[in-house]
Structure 1
Amino acid sequence: MPTLLLPGQAPWLTVPGIIGYLRRMTPRRAYAIHDGLVIEWGLKVLDDVLAMEAERAGAEIRRLRPGESVEL
Structure 2
Amino acid sequence: MALKNRFFIILSFLLALVLTFCSARDLIEVSGKEDACDETSMTAFTDYTPPRTRPPSPPPPFPLPCNPAPTQGTG
Normalised-by-shorter TM-score class:
under 0.3
Which structure features the higher share of helix residues? 2
For the pair shown, the structure with the greater C-alpha radius of gyration is: 2
Higher strand content, 1 or 2: 1
TM-score, normalized by length of structure 2?
0.27
* Larger RCO, structure (CA 8 Å, separation 6 or more): 1
Normalising to structure 1: TM-score of the pair? 0.28
